[in-house]
């Protein structure tokens, strides 16, 4: 999966218009980023990459780019 495909999956997961997320967005500024979205992100990563994101790592994420960094081993440029 490449970066754009992953951002599209995040758009869909967060119920945003396609192409909304570019990477630099602050998670706190995204209305749909809440505790349910965190769980959905964990499930998305598990489904797409068969890997589990550590809760403490996810808690440190402040931007969409930080989320991408958590899956950088699986997402190509």
CATH number (domain holding residue 18): 1.10.1200.10
Q: Total domain count for the chain? A: 1
What confidence tens digit (pLDDT) does each residue in 25-51 have? Answer: 999 999 999 999 999 999 999 999 999
- Span 54-69, average pLDDT: 95
- Structure pTM? 0.92
Three-state secondary-structure class, residue 26 = strand
pLDDT of 16 strictly over 90: yes
Give the domain extent around 53: 3-73
Specify whether the CB–CB gap between 18 and 54 falls below 8 A.
no
Confidence at residue 77, expressed as pLDDT on a 0 to 100 scale: 82
Share of the chain above pLDDT 70, in %: 100
- C-alpha distances (whole Å) from 69 to each of 2, 11, 17, 20, 72 are 13, 17, 22, 19, 5
């Amino acid at each position: 999966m490449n970066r754009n495909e992953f951002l599209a999956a995040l758009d869909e997961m967060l119920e945003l218009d396609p192409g909304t997320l570019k990477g630099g967005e602050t998670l706190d500024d995204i209305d749909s980023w809440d505790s349910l979205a965190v769980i959905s992100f964990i499930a998305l990563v598990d489904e797409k990459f068969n890997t589990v994101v550590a809760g403490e790592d996810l808690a440190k994420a402040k931007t969409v780019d930080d989320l991408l960094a958590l899956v950088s081993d699986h997402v190509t440029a």
